[in-house]
A = this chain, B = another copy of it.
Amino acid sequence: MDKQTVTIYDVAREADVSMATVSRVVNGNPNVKPATRKKVLDVIERLDYRPNAVARGLASKKTTTVGVIIPDVTNIYFSALARGIDDIAMMYKYNIILTNSDENGRKEVQVLNTLMAKQVDGIVFMGNDISDEVRKEFERSKTPIVLAGCVDDQDKMPSVNIDYTAAVEEATKNLIDHGNERVAFVSGSLDYPINRDYRLKGYKQALKKAGLRYDEKLVFETDYSYKAGQLLQPALQSVNATAAVIGDDELAAGVMNGVTDAGLNVPEDFEIITSNDTKLTEMVRPKMSSITQPLYDIGAVAMRLLTKLMNNEPVENKTVLLPYGLMKRASTH
């Protein structure tokens, strides 16, 4: 973009055609004679012309960039989703603008507005909650938005998830079937619908079906950090919990290491099922049993869904539930 930049005007002059023809050649428009096309391509190569994507974005109203709002790129779960998003984005010739939100509602609104100002063609939103302010921005947006690993309790937004309720129900049932009568539910904030209305619901259903009473004292709210998990061991012990379903792998690793560092054995004294099946479940010892989520696929399918929305392609299902499973490793019997 300085004095020496080759512009479409230079190519047109050198090839003795109009700028419109150069544009047609560059963009693969078929309405160009082969001889003209060759002439233009030769000049493009000779001058090493590189189209300015910003100008193209302004003129064509498509920037080929997609905004991705991620709570924390260092979290193993979210980074796996991001990887799926980026790979499919690249496949469809998009680039992602990545913004960390820290699950801070004010920051989420701020980055949403920044992404809109940058005229992104679409947005993938990851997070645990859709605040009222964020929802208001979603509703006013003409840019398609897809949720990944994030539920919309109003079910208005396109989203890709697993059936968290059924998955947690199955995990809880598994622990109950092992004879555990004191199964703890360790979760992020219950202000978040994904935790309160989906995961906790599955936990309660499993208890009910097993004829076990729901005990609030077995429900633990915390942030999703390893440290918080470690600190939970005394509280879990004080309520005589013998097992736990835990909502995040790093948190679960903290709980597990807190338990074993306290001299108890996993799974003999305390069984653990975590929720994300990240690579961490294989690295810690004992290996952790987990609800299996296809993390990469959640990201990939969300991005693919977004490309359909951006291109006004028909979409069968705006709420996609991918398969889940239960991977038994050494943290359960």
Among B51, B63, B72, point to the contact of A54 (Cβ < 8 A).
Answer: B63
11 pairs across A/B with beta carbons < 8 Å? A54-B118, A58-B58, A68-B98, A73-B79, A73-B82, A74-B76, A95-B118, A96-B97, A96-B99, A226-B282, A250-B279
Q: Does A304 count as interface, using CB distance less than 8 angstroms?
A: no
Q: Is the CB of A51 within 8 A of B117?
A: yes
A284 at the interface (CB under 8 A from B): yes
Q: How far is the CA of A74 from the CA of B118 in the complex (A)?
A: 26
- Indicate if the CB atoms of A117 and B86 lie closer than 8 Å: no
Indicate whether A54 sits within 8 Å of B260 (C-beta atoms), given known contacts A79-B74, A96-B98, A283-B284.
no
Nearest-Cβ distance from residue A286 to partner chain B, whole angstroms: 9
Tell me which residues from 30 to 65 in chain A have a Cβ below 8 Å from any Cβ of chain B: 50-55, 57-58, 61, 63, 65
CB closest residue in chain B, given A4: B142
**CB–CB B76/A73 < 8 A:** no
Q: In the bound complex, how far is the Cα of B117 from the Cα of A284, in angstroms?
A: 43
A155 touches B (CB below 8 Å) = no
Q: What is the minimal beta-carbon distance from A106 to any residue of chain B, in angstroms?
A: 13
The reply to whether A54 and B50 contact each other, CB–CB distance below 8 Å, is no
Chain A, interface residues (CB within 8 Å), range: 35 or more
- Residue in contact with A86 in the complex, picked from B2, B100, B119, B284, CB distance below 8 Å: B100
Find chain B residues with CB under 8 A from A73 CB: 73, 79, 82-83, 86
Given known A1-B61, A83-B100, A98-B86, contact A285–B282 (CB-CB < 8 A): no
Specify the chain B residue showing the minimal Cβ separation from A115. B95
Cβ distance A148 to chain B, nearest Cβ, rounded Å:
14
Which partner residue on chain B sits nearest A68 by CB separation?
B98
User: Could you give, for residues 189-223 of chain A, a 1 whenever the CB lies within 8 Å of some chain B CB and a 0 otherwise?
Assistant: 00000000000000000000000000000000000
Q: Bits for A262-287, please: 1 = Cβ < 8 Å to B, else 0.
A: 00000000000000000110111100
A114 interface residue per 8 A CB criterion = yes
Inter-subunit contact B279/A257 (CB<8 Å): no
Contact present for A226 and B100 (CB under 8 Å): no
